Homo-oligomer: A and B are copies of this chain.
Amino acid sequence: MSRLTLEQIAKLAGVSRSTVSRVINDHPHVRDQVRQRVMRVIAETGYQPNLAARSLVTQRTGIIGLVIPRAVQSLFTDPFFPRLIQGITQACNAKDYTLSLFMFHTKEEEQKLYPTVVRARLLDGVIVSSSEIDDPFIPQLIENQMPFVMVGRPYDATQASFVQSDNVVGAHTAVSHLARLGYKRIATITGPLNTTVGLDRRQGYQDALNERNGFVDEALIVEGDFTESGGHAAMQRLLPHQPDAVFAASDAMAFGALRALREVGLSVPHDVAVVGFDDLPTAALSDPPLTTIRQPIRRSGIQAVETLIDILTNGPEPPRRITMSTELVIRSSCGSG
């Protein structure tokens, strides 16, 4: 039963192969009666067209790739990717695209697989989740004219299309909120500064303080890596400089900071206020519950798919640059709202 072909459906319906093809592809110029008959046969038999055969002629596969570059450590502590994938699969399902997932674990894997990803004509387009500066994959995509959209802003002003959260404004909002509450020595634990996300959130922090104070104390800026333990270590380095508030560029790092604070007997928010970024599901459950910036990750995933399909349909020009707005979620770690 499962090896049905167009030809056989045609025979069963008493028409030609082409007619069945027209019905399947919703082409006009088929008598309604005939269309009904064909559709009945298809439904009865559970026929599904062979994708390989179809894409051999259409030059399209209906498959898009999601490429996740190597060793994103936070992959396994952070619900960022699960959420993103949720949005992406949801949109793919809605738009009748299939998703293929490419994740790399070593440099060798990357080098071995990039060419096949790009050239085997398996993919109509790809979504690249990378905010790393100088990601080597992007030039390859461009060179091979593979349609793509990035999740996260690319570093240099390429013609790349992307979807990102408004990291600068989000961070600015967080820090301004702290300033408004009266905190004077507001520190930040940044993300990795070889990522645009890390850079942009630091930018928002700096902008907010510059607007208020006219200056930024460099001693209060410490680089983290988006992980809990990174946040923990960063907070320890911050302690000697006696901040009265900390903006952590991710919730995971904020949790690490909370832990470091707890260990030295400092109370949050009484001694030090803490604000995070992401609004992880656990942010509401920490002790104290974490004030943070919520970003619409799932919707970014949906947006990425829709943008890619738009590019597939209408061409890559002009580049689509989409920034999703964020939202301040006030809980108790910042000391009242």
Q: How far is the CA of A155 from the CA of B46 in the complex (A)?
A: 28
Per the 8 Å Cβ criterion, residues 18-71 of A in contact with B are 46-53, 55-56, 61, 63, 66
Decide: B82 and A102 in contact? CB cutoff 8 A: no
Decide: A89 and B101 in contact? CB cutoff 8 A: yes
Q: How far is the CA of A282 from the CA of B78 in the complex (A)?
A: 11
Q: Is A116 an interface residue (CB 8 A)?
A: yes
Q: In the complex, which residues of chain B have a beta carbon less than 8 angstroms from the beta carbon of A145?
A: 2
> Contacts A77-B79, A120-B48, A122-B51 known; A93 to B104 CB distance under 8 Å?
yes
Per-residue interface assignment for chain A, residues 126 to 148, with 1 indicating a CB less than 8 Å from any chain B CB and 0 otherwise: 00000000000000000011000
Query: Chain B nearest CB: distance from A304 CB in Å?
Result: 15
Decide: B115 and A48 in contact? CB cutoff 8 A: yes
Per-residue interface assignment for chain A, residues 69 to 103, with 1 indicating a CB less than 8 Å from any chain B CB and 0 otherwise: 00000011101011101100110010000111111
Task: Number of A interface residues at 8 Å Cβ cutoff, please give it.
Answer: 54
Q: How far is the CA of A184 from the CA of B83 in the complex (A)?
A: 41
Q: In the complex, which residues of chain B have a beta carbon less than 8 angstroms from the beta carbon of A82?
A: 75-76, 81-82
Decide: A86 and B99 in contact? CB cutoff 8 A: no
Decide: B228 and A77 in contact? CB cutoff 8 A: no
Q: Is A285 an interface residue (CB 8 A)?
A: yes
Decide: B98 and A99 in contact? CB cutoff 8 A: no
Q: Is A181 an interface residue (CB 8 A)?
A: no
Q: In the complex, which residues of chain B have a beta carbon less than 8 angstroms from the beta carbon of A2?
A: 119, 144-145
Decide: A76 and B86 in contact? CB cutoff 8 A: yes
Per the 8 Å Cβ criterion, residues 238-276 of A in contact with B are 255, 259, 262
Decide: B98 and A122 in contact? CB cutoff 8 A: yes
Q: In the complex, which residues of chain B have a beta carbon less than 8 angstroms from the beta carbon of A12?
A: none
Q: In the complex, which residues of chain B have a beta carbon less than 8 angstroms from the beta carbon of A120?
A: 48-51
Q: How far is the CA of A86 from the CA of B73 in the complex (A)?
A: 11
Decide: A89 and B77 in contact? CB cutoff 8 A: no
Q: How far is the CA of A103 from the CA of B144 in the complex (A)?
A: 29
Q: What are 30 residue pairs bridging A and B, where the CB atoms are less than 8 Å apart in the complex?
A: A46-B119, A47-B119, A48-B116, A48-B119, A48-B121, A50-B56, A50-B120, A51-B120, A52-B52, A52-B56, A52-B121, A56-B56, A63-B100, A75-B82, A77-B79, A81-B82, A82-B82, A90-B103, A93-B105, A93-B112, A93-B113, A98-B100, A98-B102, A98-B122, A99-B100, A228-B281, A228-B282, A228-B285, A255-B285, A259-B285
Besides the contacts A2-B145, A76-B82, A99-B101, what 4 more A-B pairs have beta carbons closer than 8 Å?
Answer: A51-B122, A76-B83, A85-B103, A98-B102
Closest 7 CB pairs of A and B: A48-B119, A89-B103, A52-B55, A52-B56, A48-B120, A52-B52, A76-B79
